[in-house]
Amino acid sequence: MTFGERLTQLRKENGYATRSEFANKLGIPCTTLRNYETNAREPGCAFLRQISILFNISVDYLLGLTDDKEVLNSFRIQKNEKDLVENYRQLDSQGKEVVDYILIHEIDSARYRESAQRRLQTYSARLSTHLIVAEQSAEYSAQNDTFVNSKLE
C-alpha cells in the first residue's frame, strides 16, 4: 500500500469524508492533500509528524515500512542489549520459550527480593521503635523506683 493510499484510508477511517474538510483540519491547501493522496507529491517531515500525532500512528506505517500502526515508545538501548535482542531473534520458537521462561523467572525473583528487602526495612524500623520505647520505659521505671524509694526512706 502506498503512502497516498494509507493517507486516504486514515482520512476516511477517522471521519473526514472529503479532502477539503481534512485539508482545513491540517491547515494545508486541498490541492496539496490531493497530491499527497494520489502520490503525485511526497510529504515533508513536518507533515508526516503532524499526521502521526493526529492519528497516533507510526511514521513507519505511513511510509509503508511496516503494517503495524502502533507508535512504539523509543528508549535508549546499550550495545550489549542490542546484541542480545539480535541473538534472541535468531532463536527458534523453543529457544525463545526457554529464554522467556528464564527471563520471567528472574524478573519474579528480583521483585520478590525487592519486596523482602522492603519488609525487612519496615520490620527493622518497627523493632528500633520498640527498643526505644522499651529503653524509655526502663528509664522511667528506674526513675520511678528511685523516687518511691526516696519517699519510703
pLDDT bin (cut points 50, 70, 90) of residue 97 is very high
Average pLDDT of the chain to the nearest whole number:
88
* DSSP states along 65-134: S-S--PPPPP----HHHHHHHHHHHHS-HHHHHHHHHHHHHHHHHHHHHHHHHHHHHHHHHHHHHHHHHH
* Class in CATH terms, 3-62: mainly alpha
Statement: the pTM of the whole predicted model exceeds 0.75? no
Whether 75 shows a pLDDT value over 80: the answer reads no
> Given this model, what pLDDT does residue 73 score?
62
Burial of 63 (C-beta count, 10 Å sphere; 0-12/13-18/19+): middle
pLDDT bin (cut points 50, 70, 90) of residue 69 is confident
Residue 26's nearest CA partner among 11, 12, 40, 38 is 11
All three cell numbers of 89, joined, read: 531473534
All three cell numbers of 66, joined, read: 511496516
pLDDT bin (cut points 50, 70, 90) of residue 74 is low
> Given this model, what pLDDT does residue 108 score?
92
**Three-class secondary structure of residue 42 per DSSP:** coil
pLDDT digits (tens, 9 = 90+) for 108-140: 999 999 988 888 888 888 888 878 877 877 777
pLDDT digits (tens, 9 = 90+) for 29-38: 999 999 999 9
